A and B are shown apart, each in its own frame.
Chain A
Amino acid sequence: MLLYYVPSPTQAYATTQYIFQNVSYGTFLETVHLYTAYAMIMLAFMHMMRGYFVSVHKKPRELMWVVGMVMGFVTLGFGFTGYLLPWTIVSKSATDVGIGMIGALPQPIASSLTFLVVGSGTDAGELLRFYDLHVFILPAVLLVLLVVKMYMLESHGVSEPTTGVESLPAKKRKLIPIFPDVSFYLVELAALFGAAIILISVIFPLSLPQEYSAALAGQSVAQPDWYFLWIYQILKISAFEEAGLPVALAVVTLIFIALVLLPFIDRGKTRNIRDRMVYVTLGGIFVAEVAVLAVWGFLTPGRAIPDEAALLVLGGTALVVTLGSVVAYKAVFGGLRAFAKGRGSQGVPSAAASSSAPELAPKSAAMWTSCTFVVLLAAGAFFIGESINQMVSLVLGGTAVLPFLMLSLVCLSLTVLGTLYFLYRLDLGSGSIRRRVRAFEIGWKE
Protein backbone atom coordinates (compact mmCIF):
# COMPACT_ATOMS: atom_id res chain seq x y z
CA MET A 1 0.00 0.00 0.00
CA LEU A 2 2.92 2.33 0.74
CA LEU A 3 4.13 1.77 -2.84
CA TYR A 4 1.00 3.25 -4.40
CA TYR A 5 -0.61 5.57 -1.83
CA VAL A 6 0.12 9.32 -2.07
CA PRO A 7 -0.77 11.39 1.05
CA SER A 8 -2.16 14.45 -0.69
CA PRO A 9 -5.80 15.64 -0.75
CA THR A 10 -5.84 15.60 -4.55
CA GLN A 11 -4.34 12.12 -4.94
CA ALA A 12 -5.18 10.19 -1.75
CA TYR A 13 -8.58 8.97 -2.92
CA ALA A 14 -7.43 8.29 -6.48
CA THR A 15 -4.42 6.24 -5.37
CA THR A 16 -6.54 4.30 -2.86
CA GLN A 17 -9.02 3.60 -5.66
CA TYR A 18 -6.13 2.48 -7.88
CA ILE A 19 -5.06 -0.01 -5.22
CA PHE A 20 -8.62 -1.35 -5.07
CA GLN A 21 -9.13 -1.63 -8.82
CA ASN A 22 -5.76 -2.15 -10.49
CA VAL A 23 -3.25 -3.59 -8.05
CA SER A 24 -3.19 -7.39 -7.81
CA TYR A 25 -4.82 -8.49 -4.55
CA GLY A 26 -5.38 -4.79 -3.76
CA THR A 27 -8.96 -5.16 -2.51
CA PHE A 28 -7.93 -8.24 -0.53
CA LEU A 29 -5.01 -6.38 1.09
CA GLU A 30 -7.11 -3.33 1.96
CA THR A 31 -9.88 -5.51 3.42
CA VAL A 32 -7.47 -7.63 5.47
CA HIS A 33 -5.76 -4.42 6.66
CA LEU A 34 -9.06 -2.95 7.86
CA TYR A 35 -10.43 -6.10 9.51
CA THR A 36 -7.12 -6.82 11.24
CA ALA A 37 -7.15 -3.26 12.61
CA TYR A 38 -10.70 -3.79 13.89
CA ALA A 39 -9.66 -7.09 15.44
CA MET A 40 -6.63 -5.45 17.06
CA ILE A 41 -8.80 -2.81 18.74
CA MET A 42 -11.41 -5.35 19.84
CA LEU A 43 -8.77 -7.79 21.16
CA ALA A 44 -6.96 -4.95 22.98
CA PHE A 45 -10.24 -4.01 24.67
CA MET A 46 -10.95 -7.65 25.58
CA HIS A 47 -7.39 -8.04 26.87
CA MET A 48 -7.81 -4.95 29.05
CA MET A 49 -11.15 -6.07 30.49
CA ARG A 50 -9.90 -9.60 31.08
CA GLY A 51 -6.92 -8.09 32.96
CA TYR A 52 -9.30 -5.89 34.94
CA PHE A 53 -11.53 -8.76 36.02
CA VAL A 54 -8.66 -11.04 37.08
CA SER A 55 -6.75 -8.13 38.72
CA VAL A 56 -3.50 -8.32 36.80
CA HIS A 57 -2.97 -4.65 37.68
CA LYS A 58 -2.15 -5.37 41.31
CA LYS A 59 1.28 -5.29 42.91
CA PRO A 60 3.92 -5.77 41.49
CA ARG A 61 2.47 -5.19 37.98
CA GLU A 62 1.06 -1.66 38.37
CA LEU A 63 3.36 -0.11 35.78
CA MET A 64 2.68 -2.94 33.33
CA TRP A 65 -0.98 -1.97 33.48
CA VAL A 66 -0.16 1.72 32.91
CA VAL A 67 2.09 0.88 29.93
CA GLY A 68 -0.60 -1.44 28.55
CA MET A 69 -3.18 1.35 28.79
CA VAL A 70 -0.87 3.74 26.92
CA MET A 71 -0.45 1.02 24.27
CA GLY A 72 -4.25 0.87 24.09
CA PHE A 73 -4.41 4.63 23.46
CA VAL A 74 -1.77 4.30 20.74
CA THR A 75 -3.89 1.55 19.16
CA LEU A 76 -6.89 3.92 19.16
CA GLY A 77 -4.56 6.54 17.66
CA PHE A 78 -3.83 4.12 14.81
CA GLY A 79 -7.55 3.85 14.19
CA PHE A 80 -8.11 7.61 14.33
CA THR A 81 -5.22 8.50 12.00
CA GLY A 82 -5.75 5.63 9.58
CA TYR A 83 -9.43 6.39 9.14
CA LEU A 84 -8.69 9.71 7.38
CA LEU A 85 -6.13 8.39 4.88
CA PRO A 86 -8.49 7.19 2.07
CA TRP A 87 -9.92 10.75 2.05
CA THR A 88 -13.53 9.58 1.72
CA ILE A 89 -16.47 11.71 2.70
CA VAL A 90 -17.18 9.47 5.71
CA SER A 91 -13.62 9.52 7.00
CA LYS A 92 -12.96 13.23 6.51
CA SER A 93 -16.26 14.32 8.13
CA ALA A 94 -15.73 12.04 11.14
CA THR A 95 -12.12 13.21 11.56
CA ASP A 96 -13.23 16.83 11.44
CA VAL A 97 -15.65 16.10 14.29
CA GLY A 98 -12.76 14.56 16.26
CA ILE A 99 -10.52 17.56 15.62
CA GLY A 100 -13.37 19.87 16.65
CA MET A 101 -13.58 17.97 19.94
CA ILE A 102 -9.86 18.48 20.53
CA GLY A 103 -10.45 22.22 20.04
CA ALA A 104 -12.93 22.19 22.97
CA LEU A 105 -10.25 21.03 25.42
CA PRO A 106 -8.74 23.64 27.80
CA GLN A 107 -5.83 25.75 26.54
CA PRO A 108 -2.94 25.20 25.94
CA ILE A 109 -3.74 21.48 25.48
CA ALA A 110 -6.21 22.28 22.69
CA SER A 111 -3.84 24.44 20.64
CA SER A 112 -0.88 22.05 21.13
CA LEU A 113 -2.87 18.96 20.13
CA THR A 114 -4.53 20.75 17.23
CA PHE A 115 -1.14 21.86 15.94
CA LEU A 116 0.19 18.31 16.35
CA VAL A 117 -2.56 16.71 14.26
CA VAL A 118 -3.59 19.49 11.90
CA GLY A 119 -0.48 21.64 11.52
CA SER A 120 -1.05 24.80 9.53
CA GLY A 121 -4.76 24.08 9.22
CA THR A 122 -4.79 23.16 5.54
CA ASP A 123 -6.14 19.84 4.26
CA ALA A 124 -2.71 18.95 2.88
CA GLY A 125 -0.98 19.59 6.21
CA GLU A 126 -3.63 17.60 8.08
CA LEU A 127 -3.45 14.56 5.77
CA LEU A 128 0.36 14.53 5.76
CA ARG A 129 0.49 14.64 9.55
CA PHE A 130 -2.07 11.86 9.90
CA TYR A 131 -0.07 9.79 7.42
CA ASP A 132 3.20 10.38 9.28
CA LEU A 133 1.59 9.55 12.61
CA HIS A 134 -0.04 6.39 11.21
CA VAL A 135 2.95 5.03 9.30
CA PHE A 136 6.03 6.20 11.21
CA ILE A 137 5.49 7.78 14.62
CA LEU A 138 2.78 5.61 16.19
CA PRO A 139 4.41 2.29 15.08
CA ALA A 140 7.72 3.47 16.59
CA VAL A 141 6.02 4.47 19.86
CA LEU A 142 4.12 1.16 19.99
CA LEU A 143 7.33 -0.78 19.38
CA VAL A 144 9.14 1.01 22.23
CA LEU A 145 6.20 0.45 24.58
CA LEU A 146 6.07 -3.22 23.56
CA VAL A 147 9.76 -3.64 24.42
CA VAL A 148 9.19 -1.94 27.80
CA LYS A 149 6.18 -4.15 28.52
CA MET A 150 8.02 -7.33 27.51
CA TYR A 151 10.91 -6.33 29.77
CA MET A 152 8.47 -5.91 32.65
CA LEU A 153 6.88 -9.25 31.82
CA GLU A 154 10.31 -10.85 31.92
CA SER A 155 10.99 -9.19 35.30
CA HIS A 156 7.69 -9.99 37.04
CA GLY A 157 6.54 -13.05 35.10
CA VAL A 158 2.93 -13.68 34.15
CA SER A 159 0.36 -13.19 36.91
CA GLU A 160 -0.62 -16.27 38.87
CA PRO A 161 -4.13 -17.73 38.92
CA THR A 162 -6.50 -15.45 40.85
CA THR A 163 -7.18 -18.11 43.45
CA GLY A 164 -3.43 -18.36 44.20
CA VAL A 165 -1.10 -21.21 43.31
CA GLU A 166 -1.52 -22.77 46.78
CA SER A 167 -5.19 -23.48 46.18
CA LEU A 168 -4.48 -25.49 43.00
CA PRO A 169 -4.28 -29.27 43.26
CA ALA A 170 -0.70 -30.61 43.20
CA LYS A 171 -1.21 -32.07 39.70
CA LYS A 172 -1.89 -28.66 38.20
CA ARG A 173 1.01 -26.84 39.86
CA LYS A 174 3.51 -27.64 37.10
CA LEU A 175 5.21 -24.84 35.20
CA ILE A 176 4.57 -24.69 31.45
CA PRO A 177 7.70 -23.87 29.40
CA ILE A 178 7.48 -20.92 26.99
CA PHE A 179 9.05 -23.20 24.33
CA PRO A 180 7.70 -25.40 22.92
CA ASP A 181 4.31 -25.52 24.69
CA VAL A 182 3.29 -21.84 24.91
CA SER A 183 5.01 -20.97 21.61
CA PHE A 184 3.12 -23.67 19.71
CA TYR A 185 -0.11 -22.58 21.34
CA LEU A 186 0.51 -18.99 20.17
CA VAL A 187 1.42 -20.17 16.64
CA GLU A 188 -1.80 -22.19 16.59
CA LEU A 189 -3.90 -19.19 17.69
CA ALA A 190 -2.12 -16.83 15.27
CA ALA A 191 -2.63 -19.18 12.31
CA LEU A 192 -6.33 -19.71 13.11
CA PHE A 193 -6.78 -15.96 13.63
CA GLY A 194 -5.14 -15.28 10.26
CA ALA A 195 -7.34 -17.87 8.55
CA ALA A 196 -10.47 -16.36 10.15
CA ILE A 197 -9.55 -12.80 9.08
CA ILE A 198 -8.84 -13.99 5.52
CA LEU A 199 -12.15 -15.83 5.26
CA ILE A 200 -14.10 -12.87 6.67
CA SER A 201 -12.32 -10.62 4.15
CA VAL A 202 -13.39 -12.97 1.33
CA ILE A 203 -17.00 -13.07 2.48
CA PHE A 204 -17.32 -9.32 3.22
CA PRO A 205 -14.95 -7.47 0.87
CA LEU A 206 -14.48 -3.75 1.43
CA SER A 207 -15.86 -1.16 -0.95
CA LEU A 208 -14.59 2.41 -1.07
CA PRO A 209 -17.11 5.16 -0.09
CA GLN A 210 -17.43 8.40 -2.06
CA GLU A 211 -14.55 10.86 -2.30
CA TYR A 212 -14.56 13.84 0.07
CA SER A 213 -15.59 17.21 -1.28
CA ALA A 214 -16.67 20.32 0.61
CA ALA A 215 -19.98 20.38 -1.27
CA LEU A 216 -20.87 16.77 -0.37
CA ALA A 217 -19.67 17.11 3.22
CA GLY A 218 -22.66 19.28 4.14
CA GLN A 219 -25.09 16.59 2.98
CA SER A 220 -23.56 13.65 4.85
CA VAL A 221 -23.92 12.76 8.52
CA ALA A 222 -20.58 12.61 10.34
CA GLN A 223 -20.23 9.29 12.12
CA PRO A 224 -16.98 7.93 13.59
CA ASP A 225 -15.88 4.31 13.28
CA TRP A 226 -17.49 1.83 15.70
CA TYR A 227 -14.73 1.97 18.34
CA PHE A 228 -15.32 5.71 18.90
CA LEU A 229 -19.11 5.52 18.70
CA TRP A 230 -19.58 5.25 22.47
CA ILE A 231 -17.70 8.54 23.02
CA TYR A 232 -19.58 10.15 20.15
CA GLN A 233 -22.89 9.05 21.66
CA ILE A 234 -21.98 10.67 25.01
CA LEU A 235 -21.27 13.92 23.14
CA LYS A 236 -24.69 13.70 21.47
CA ILE A 237 -26.57 13.87 24.77
CA SER A 238 -28.47 17.19 24.73
CA ALA A 239 -27.00 18.45 28.01
CA PHE A 240 -23.49 18.05 26.59
CA GLU A 241 -24.05 19.84 23.29
CA GLU A 242 -22.37 23.16 22.42
CA ALA A 243 -21.44 24.89 25.72
CA GLY A 244 -21.72 21.56 27.56
CA LEU A 245 -19.07 19.94 25.34
CA PRO A 246 -16.18 20.59 27.79
CA VAL A 247 -18.21 18.81 30.50
CA ALA A 248 -18.64 15.75 28.23
CA LEU A 249 -14.95 15.76 27.35
CA ALA A 250 -14.11 16.01 31.05
CA VAL A 251 -16.33 12.96 31.73
CA VAL A 252 -14.62 10.91 28.98
CA THR A 253 -11.16 12.08 30.10
CA LEU A 254 -11.95 11.12 33.70
CA ILE A 255 -12.99 7.62 32.55
CA PHE A 256 -9.65 7.21 30.75
CA ILE A 257 -7.66 8.64 33.69
CA ALA A 258 -9.46 6.29 36.09
CA LEU A 259 -8.57 3.34 33.83
CA VAL A 260 -4.90 4.34 33.64
CA LEU A 261 -4.65 4.90 37.41
CA LEU A 262 -6.68 1.79 38.28
CA PRO A 263 -3.77 0.04 40.10
CA PHE A 264 -3.55 3.02 42.46
CA ILE A 265 -7.33 3.20 43.00
CA ASP A 266 -8.10 -0.52 43.44
CA ARG A 267 -5.52 -1.22 46.16
CA GLY A 268 -7.15 -4.23 47.82
CA LYS A 269 -4.80 -7.19 48.13
CA THR A 270 -7.18 -9.93 47.08
CA ARG A 271 -7.28 -10.89 43.39
CA ASN A 272 -9.98 -13.51 43.66
CA ILE A 273 -13.02 -12.51 41.63
CA ARG A 274 -15.42 -13.72 44.34
CA ASP A 275 -14.03 -11.16 46.79
CA ARG A 276 -14.20 -8.20 44.38
CA MET A 277 -17.90 -7.81 43.80
CA VAL A 278 -17.86 -4.00 43.69
CA TYR A 279 -15.04 -3.77 41.12
CA VAL A 280 -16.41 -6.66 39.05
CA THR A 281 -19.80 -4.94 38.99
CA LEU A 282 -18.22 -1.61 38.00
CA GLY A 283 -16.32 -3.38 35.20
CA GLY A 284 -19.54 -5.04 34.04
CA ILE A 285 -21.32 -1.66 34.03
CA PHE A 286 -18.47 -0.13 31.99
CA VAL A 287 -18.55 -2.89 29.36
CA ALA A 288 -22.36 -2.78 29.17
CA GLU A 289 -22.47 1.03 28.88
CA VAL A 290 -19.81 1.07 26.15
CA ALA A 291 -21.70 -1.61 24.19
CA VAL A 292 -25.09 0.09 24.65
CA LEU A 293 -23.71 3.53 23.69
CA ALA A 294 -21.96 2.10 20.60
CA VAL A 295 -25.05 0.25 19.34
CA TRP A 296 -27.26 3.24 20.16
CA GLY A 297 -24.87 5.56 18.33
CA PHE A 298 -24.90 3.26 15.30
CA LEU A 299 -28.72 3.26 15.24
CA THR A 300 -29.11 7.07 15.68
CA PRO A 301 -26.57 8.73 13.36
CA GLY A 302 -26.47 12.51 13.74
CA ARG A 303 -29.45 12.63 16.10
CA ALA A 304 -29.22 14.42 19.45
CA ILE A 305 -30.16 12.32 22.48
CA PRO A 306 -32.70 13.85 24.90
CA ASP A 307 -31.46 14.01 28.48
CA GLU A 308 -34.33 11.90 29.81
CA ALA A 309 -33.64 9.14 27.26
CA ALA A 310 -29.95 9.12 28.13
CA LEU A 311 -30.75 8.98 31.83
CA LEU A 312 -33.20 6.12 31.39
CA VAL A 313 -31.02 4.03 29.06
CA LEU A 314 -27.70 4.54 30.85
CA GLY A 315 -29.21 4.40 34.34
CA GLY A 316 -31.29 1.37 33.36
CA THR A 317 -28.24 -0.42 31.98
CA ALA A 318 -26.28 0.26 35.16
CA LEU A 319 -29.18 -0.95 37.29
CA VAL A 320 -29.68 -4.14 35.27
CA VAL A 321 -25.96 -4.97 35.41
CA THR A 322 -25.84 -4.28 39.15
CA LEU A 323 -28.86 -6.50 39.80
CA GLY A 324 -27.44 -9.18 37.50
CA SER A 325 -24.13 -9.03 39.33
CA VAL A 326 -25.77 -9.34 42.77
CA VAL A 327 -27.91 -12.28 41.61
CA ALA A 328 -24.94 -13.93 39.87
CA TYR A 329 -22.75 -13.62 42.97
CA LYS A 330 -25.53 -15.01 45.11
CA ALA A 331 -26.24 -17.87 42.70
CA VAL A 332 -22.68 -18.80 41.74
CA PHE A 333 -20.73 -18.25 44.91
CA GLY A 334 -23.62 -19.08 47.23
CA GLY A 335 -24.16 -22.27 45.23
CA LEU A 336 -20.47 -23.04 45.13
CA ARG A 337 -20.14 -22.55 48.84
CA ALA A 338 -23.04 -24.92 49.52
CA PHE A 339 -21.48 -27.42 47.12
CA ALA A 340 -18.08 -27.02 48.78
CA LYS A 341 -19.65 -27.53 52.20
CA GLY A 342 -21.28 -30.72 50.96
CA ARG A 343 -17.99 -32.02 49.63
CA GLY A 344 -16.21 -30.95 52.79
CA SER A 345 -18.53 -33.10 54.88
CA GLN A 346 -17.49 -36.11 52.81
CA GLY A 347 -13.90 -35.59 53.79
CA VAL A 348 -12.68 -33.92 50.60
CA PRO A 349 -10.43 -30.97 51.43
CA SER A 350 -11.68 -27.66 50.01
CA ALA A 351 -10.42 -24.13 50.35
CA ALA A 352 -13.92 -22.71 50.11
CA ALA A 353 -15.26 -25.01 52.80
CA SER A 354 -12.52 -24.07 55.21
CA SER A 355 -13.43 -20.39 55.12
CA SER A 356 -16.06 -19.41 57.65
CA ALA A 357 -19.50 -19.24 56.04
CA PRO A 358 -21.55 -16.15 56.90
CA GLU A 359 -24.56 -16.47 59.12
CA LEU A 360 -27.45 -15.84 56.82
CA ALA A 361 -30.49 -13.88 57.89
CA PRO A 362 -33.90 -15.57 57.42
CA LYS A 363 -34.90 -15.74 53.77
CA SER A 364 -37.68 -13.16 54.05
CA ALA A 365 -35.40 -10.68 55.86
CA ALA A 366 -32.73 -11.10 53.20
CA MET A 367 -35.35 -10.55 50.51
CA TRP A 368 -36.65 -7.35 52.13
CA THR A 369 -33.12 -6.09 52.67
CA SER A 370 -32.26 -6.72 49.01
CA CYS A 371 -35.45 -5.07 47.73
CA THR A 372 -35.01 -1.98 49.90
CA PHE A 373 -31.40 -1.57 48.80
CA VAL A 374 -32.36 -1.95 45.15
CA VAL A 375 -35.06 0.74 45.51
CA LEU A 376 -32.64 3.06 47.31
CA LEU A 377 -29.97 2.40 44.69
CA ALA A 378 -32.36 3.14 41.82
CA ALA A 379 -33.64 6.31 43.49
CA GLY A 380 -30.09 7.46 44.25
CA ALA A 381 -28.92 6.84 40.66
CA PHE A 382 -31.95 8.65 39.25
CA PHE A 383 -31.65 11.72 41.49
CA ILE A 384 -27.87 11.98 41.03
CA GLY A 385 -28.36 11.88 37.24
CA GLU A 386 -31.24 14.36 37.40
CA SER A 387 -29.24 16.75 39.65
CA ILE A 388 -26.25 16.68 37.26
CA ASN A 389 -28.59 17.25 34.33
CA GLN A 390 -30.21 20.27 35.99
CA MET A 391 -26.81 21.66 37.08
CA VAL A 392 -25.50 21.48 33.51
CA SER A 393 -28.64 23.29 32.31
CA LEU A 394 -28.16 25.93 35.00
CA VAL A 395 -24.51 26.48 34.00
CA LEU A 396 -25.61 26.84 30.39
CA GLY A 397 -27.78 29.79 31.40
CA GLY A 398 -31.24 28.41 32.03
CA THR A 399 -32.24 29.79 35.45
CA ALA A 400 -35.71 28.37 34.89
CA VAL A 401 -34.40 24.96 35.94
CA LEU A 402 -33.48 26.18 39.44
CA PRO A 403 -36.68 24.87 41.13
CA PHE A 404 -36.19 21.46 39.47
CA LEU A 405 -32.57 21.43 40.61
CA MET A 406 -33.62 22.19 44.16
CA LEU A 407 -36.27 19.45 44.00
CA SER A 408 -33.71 16.92 42.67
CA LEU A 409 -31.24 17.84 45.41
CA VAL A 410 -33.91 17.53 48.10
CA CYS A 411 -34.96 14.11 46.77
CA LEU A 412 -31.31 13.04 46.62
CA SER A 413 -30.79 14.17 50.21
CA LEU A 414 -33.91 12.27 51.30
CA THR A 415 -32.61 9.14 49.56
CA VAL A 416 -29.26 9.47 51.30
CA LEU A 417 -30.96 10.04 54.67
CA GLY A 418 -33.27 7.08 54.00
CA THR A 419 -30.25 4.88 53.24
CA LEU A 420 -28.51 5.99 56.44
CA TYR A 421 -31.65 5.32 58.49
CA PHE A 422 -32.02 1.90 56.89
CA LEU A 423 -28.43 1.04 57.73
CA TYR A 424 -28.98 2.30 61.29
CA ARG A 425 -32.03 0.03 61.69
CA LEU A 426 -30.05 -2.91 60.37
CA ASP A 427 -27.32 -2.14 62.83
CA LEU A 428 -29.83 -2.03 65.70
CA GLY A 429 -31.16 -5.42 64.70
CA SER A 430 -27.87 -7.27 64.54
CA GLY A 431 -25.18 -5.13 66.11
CA SER A 432 -23.19 -5.36 62.91
CA ILE A 433 -24.19 -3.70 59.66
CA ARG A 434 -21.65 -5.62 57.71
CA ARG A 435 -23.00 -8.99 58.79
CA ARG A 436 -26.50 -8.05 57.67
CA VAL A 437 -25.34 -6.57 54.39
CA ARG A 438 -23.59 -9.86 53.70
CA ALA A 439 -26.97 -11.56 53.79
CA PHE A 440 -27.31 -10.72 50.12
CA GLU A 441 -23.67 -10.08 49.23
CA ILE A 442 -22.32 -13.54 49.80
CA GLY A 443 -19.14 -12.75 47.88
CA TRP A 444 -17.75 -10.33 50.45
CA LYS A 445 -14.63 -11.30 52.33
CA GLU A 446 -14.12 -9.89 55.79
Chain B
Amino acid sequence: MTARQTSSEGNVVVIERMAVRIVSLLLIVAAVSVFVLWSANAVGSGGETTFALFLAVDLVAVAMISYVERSVSEQGNIGRAPLIAGCCFVLVLVIAGIYLL
Protein backbone atom coordinates (compact mmCIF):
# COMPACT_ATOMS: atom_id res chain seq x y z
CA MET B 1 0.00 0.00 0.00
CA THR B 2 1.51 3.38 -1.04
CA ALA B 3 1.49 6.55 1.03
CA ARG B 4 -0.84 8.21 -1.44
CA GLN B 5 -3.39 5.39 -1.13
CA THR B 6 -3.28 5.62 2.67
CA SER B 7 -3.79 9.37 2.54
CA SER B 8 -6.71 8.99 0.10
CA GLU B 9 -8.42 6.37 2.30
CA GLY B 10 -7.87 8.57 5.33
CA ASN B 11 -9.62 11.46 3.54
CA VAL B 12 -12.56 9.23 2.66
CA VAL B 13 -12.94 8.20 6.33
CA VAL B 14 -12.80 11.85 7.47
CA ILE B 15 -15.34 12.92 4.83
CA GLU B 16 -17.68 10.03 5.75
CA ARG B 17 -17.53 10.99 9.42
CA MET B 18 -18.20 14.61 8.58
CA ALA B 19 -21.09 13.68 6.30
CA VAL B 20 -22.74 11.59 9.04
CA ARG B 21 -22.42 14.43 11.54
CA ILE B 22 -23.70 17.06 9.10
CA VAL B 23 -26.68 14.98 8.01
CA SER B 24 -27.59 14.28 11.66
CA LEU B 25 -27.38 17.98 12.55
CA LEU B 26 -29.38 19.02 9.50
CA LEU B 27 -32.06 16.42 10.30
CA ILE B 28 -32.33 17.79 13.83
CA VAL B 29 -32.65 21.35 12.46
CA ALA B 30 -35.26 20.18 9.94
CA ALA B 31 -37.28 18.31 12.61
CA VAL B 32 -37.26 21.30 14.96
CA SER B 33 -38.19 23.62 12.07
CA VAL B 34 -41.14 21.48 11.00
CA PHE B 35 -42.39 21.25 14.59
CA VAL B 36 -42.05 25.01 15.23
CA LEU B 37 -43.47 26.12 11.89
CA TRP B 38 -46.36 23.65 12.14
CA SER B 39 -47.26 24.73 15.65
CA ALA B 40 -46.85 28.40 14.71
CA ASN B 41 -49.69 28.09 12.17
CA ALA B 42 -47.87 30.56 9.97
CA VAL B 43 -50.55 30.50 7.27
CA GLY B 44 -52.78 32.63 9.47
CA SER B 45 -52.93 36.38 9.54
CA GLY B 46 -49.47 37.95 9.93
CA GLY B 47 -47.98 34.49 9.60
CA GLU B 48 -45.70 35.40 6.74
CA THR B 49 -43.40 37.37 9.03
CA THR B 50 -43.25 34.56 11.60
CA PHE B 51 -42.52 32.03 8.86
CA ALA B 52 -39.79 34.24 7.39
CA LEU B 53 -38.15 34.78 10.78
CA PHE B 54 -38.04 31.04 11.56
CA LEU B 55 -36.76 30.33 8.05
CA ALA B 56 -33.96 32.83 8.68
CA VAL B 57 -33.22 31.01 11.96
CA ASP B 58 -32.91 27.76 10.02
CA LEU B 59 -30.52 29.29 7.51
CA VAL B 60 -28.36 30.84 10.23
CA ALA B 61 -28.27 27.41 11.95
CA VAL B 62 -27.14 25.77 8.70
CA ALA B 63 -24.44 28.44 8.28
CA MET B 64 -23.23 27.78 11.85
CA ILE B 65 -23.06 24.02 11.25
CA SER B 66 -21.12 24.65 8.05
CA TYR B 67 -18.80 27.04 9.89
CA VAL B 68 -18.10 24.50 12.64
CA GLU B 69 -17.31 21.73 10.15
CA ARG B 70 -15.11 24.01 8.05
CA SER B 71 -13.19 25.29 11.05
CA VAL B 72 -12.55 21.77 12.32
CA SER B 73 -11.44 20.63 8.89
CA GLU B 74 -9.21 23.65 8.16
CA GLN B 75 -7.73 24.65 11.51
CA GLY B 76 -8.67 21.92 13.97
CA ASN B 77 -10.31 24.40 16.35
CA ILE B 78 -13.43 26.56 16.33
CA GLY B 79 -13.53 30.34 16.86
CA ARG B 80 -15.86 31.24 19.74
CA ALA B 81 -16.84 34.76 18.65
CA PRO B 82 -18.74 33.80 15.43
CA LEU B 83 -20.59 31.03 17.30
CA ILE B 84 -21.61 33.32 20.17
CA ALA B 85 -22.70 35.99 17.66
CA GLY B 86 -24.68 33.38 15.69
CA CYS B 87 -26.41 32.07 18.83
CA CYS B 88 -27.34 35.60 19.94
CA PHE B 89 -28.69 36.33 16.46
CA VAL B 90 -30.76 33.12 16.49
CA LEU B 91 -32.06 33.99 19.95
CA VAL B 92 -33.15 37.47 18.83
CA LEU B 93 -34.92 36.02 15.77
CA VAL B 94 -36.66 33.31 17.81
CA ILE B 95 -37.87 35.85 20.42
CA ALA B 96 -39.09 38.15 17.62
CA GLY B 97 -40.89 35.21 15.99
CA ILE B 98 -42.56 34.12 19.25
CA TYR B 99 -43.55 37.72 20.01
CA LEU B 100 -45.29 37.97 16.62
CA LEU B 101 -47.18 34.66 17.07
Instruction: Tell me the A residues contacting B by CB distance below 8 Å.
Output: 24-25, 27-28, 176, 179-181, 184-185, 187-188, 191-192, 194-195, 198-199, 201-202
Q: Chain B residues near A176 (CB, 8 Å)?
A: 74
A198 contacts B66, C-beta separation under 8 Å? no
A24 contacts B66, C-beta separation under 8 Å? no
Tell me the bound Cα distance from A35 to B70 in angstroms: 29
A24 contacts B43, C-beta separation under 8 Å? yes
A25 contacts B51, C-beta separation under 8 Å? yes
Instruction: Tell me the B residues contacting A by CB distance below 8 Å.
Output: 15, 18, 43, 48-49, 51-53, 55-56, 59-60, 62-63, 66-67, 69-70, 73-74
Q: Chain A residues near B55 (CB, 8 Å)?
A: 198
On whether A184 and B59 interact (CB within 8 A), knowing A25-B48, A28-B52, A199-B52, the answer reads no
Q: Chain B residues near A195 (CB, 8 Å)?
A: 56, 59-60, 63
The count of A-to-B residue pairs whose CB atoms sit within 8 angstroms is 58
B56 contacts A199, C-beta separation under 8 Å? yes
Q: Chain A residues near B48 (CB, 8 Å)?
A: 25, 27-28, 202
Residue of B nearest to A192 (CB): B63
A188 contacts B67, C-beta separation under 8 Å? yes
Q: Chain A residues near B67 (CB, 8 Å)?
A: 184, 188
On whether A192 and B74 interact (CB within 8 A), knowing A25-B48, A180-B18, A180-B69, the answer reads no
Tell me the bound Cα distance from A25 to B74 in angstroms: 39
Q: Chain A residues near B49 (CB, 8 Å)?
A: 202
Task: Give the distance to chain B from A238, nearest Cβ to Cβ, in Å.
Answer: 46
Task: Give the distance to chain A from B23, nearest Cβ to Cβ, in Å.
Answer: 13
Q: Chain B residues near A179 (CB, 8 Å)?
A: 15
Q: Chain B residues near A199 (CB, 8 Å)?
A: 52-53, 56
On whether A181 and B70 interact (CB within 8 A), knowing A28-B51, A195-B59, the answer reads yes
Task: Give the distance to chain B from A194, nearest Cβ to Cβ, in Å.
Answer: 5
Tell me the bound Cα distance from A25 to B44 in angstroms: 10
Q: Chain A residues near B15 (CB, 8 Å)?
A: 179-180
Tell me the bound Cα distance from A25 to B69 in angstroms: 33
B66 contacts A188, C-beta separation under 8 Å? yes
Q: Chain B residues near A185 (CB, 8 Å)?
A: 66, 70
Q: A188-B66, A191-B63, A198-B55 are in contact. List 10 more A-B contacts (CB 8 A).
A: A25-B48, A179-B15, A180-B15, A180-B70, A181-B73, A184-B69, A191-B59, A195-B60, A195-B63, A198-B56
Residue of A nearest to B62 (CB): A191
Q: Chain B residues near A24 (CB, 8 Å)?
A: 43
Q: Chain A residues near B74 (CB, 8 Å)?
A: 176, 181
Tell me the bound Cα distance from A176 to B75 in angstroms: 12
Task: Give the distance to chain B from A198, nearest Cβ to Cβ, in Å.
Answer: 5
Of A176, A199, A201, most buried by chain B (CB within 10 Å of CB) is A199
Residue of A nearest to B90 (CB): A195
Tell me the bound Cα distance from A361 to B23 in angstroms: 65
Residue of A nearest to B86 (CB): A192
Interchain residue pairs with CB less than 8 A apart (11) = A25-B48, A27-B48, A180-B18, A180-B70, A184-B66, A184-B67, A187-B63, A188-B66, A191-B63, A195-B60, A199-B52
Of B18, B51, B63, B73, most buried by chain A (CB within 10 Å of CB) is B63
